[in-house]
Amino acid sequence: MAGIPGVLVAEQPHYLPWVDFYEQVARSGTLLVLDNVQWLRRGWQRRTRVALPANVPTPPPTEPGFQWLSIPLEDPHRDTLIQDLAVDTRQPWARKHLQTLVTLYGKRPYFGTQVLPLLEPFYDAAAREGGPGSLLRVLLASMALFHEPLGLRPNIVLASTLERQGDDKTGRLVAYCQQVGAHTYYSGMGSSLYLKLGLFRDADVRVLWQRFRHPPYAQGREGRFVHGMSLVDVLANVPVDEVRRWLEPSPWGPFAPAPGGSGGA
């Protein structure tokens, strides 16, 4: 599933991301990884949502129905850029994370065939990563794990390799669009709180908002469906061909296939 030329998605790197992230990748001609921004201690860059242990009762709706899986960092400071963060190699985190995922999902219908063969070599390589920049390398590898199974072929550009322009977030995003030749910026709805659309209009770059909502699926637990889970959770429970169909363009709207079968934005 090739992305759409001229469409840019800008995301911070994430650890084993959720399916909404891959819908953005499927739509984009360029995935811009914002590695030159400060990390957030309570952000999603180094952690992901996975299932609760089987022996833990389903919590009420007022409590999270998931647990975090987090990569330990070596002496992080609040103003450290993502591209400079180092994984704490003093902890055997990779082995523990793999064991945790096997324990949580080993009995789910597709974990052994669709997920485990991807996780084992990833964690083997991640265990050897260390030093400044190692978190970014691990995050990029975790994001790329699912590209081939989902049929994605993203053009990935690190923001640190581009010229940083603009006085605020919007100005920098507009400058990035111009530098990579993007005519469309495909944004998650959370960005609506700060994006200055006038700056995009002035640069002749249109903004499209992501309104993707993937279907609920059986997660192996009675009670409510938990959104925002790692793609590990999705592919442990759903056939990969079905997940691919979730990512296909809608039959209407700006990403609908153009006459003749080619995608258009």
- Return all residues near 65 (Cβ < 8 A) that are at least 6 apart: 52, 58, 59, 221, 223, 224, 226
Cβ within 8 Å of residue 23, ≥6 positions away:
210, 212, 214, 246, 247
Burial zone of 85 (CB within 10 Å; 0-12 exposed, 13-18 middle, 19+ buried): buried
pLDDT digits (tens, 9 = 90+) for 140-195: 999 999 999 999 999 999 999 999 887 789 999 999 999 999 999 999 888 877 89
Question: Does residue 260 register a pLDDT over 70?
Answer: no
How confident is the model over 193-227, as pLDDT tens digits? 789 999 999 999 999 999 898 899 999 988 789 99
In the chain, what is the straight-line distance between the N-terminal and C-terminal CA atoms, in Å? 15
Q: pTM to 2 decimals?
A: 0.92
Stretch 120-140: mean pLDDT, rounded?
Answer: 96
DSSP code of 212? -
Say how far apart CA 165 and CA 173 lie, in whole Å.
Answer: 9
Q: Report which residue type is found at 106.
A: G
User: Dihedral sign, CA of 108, 224, 47, 246?
Assistant: positive
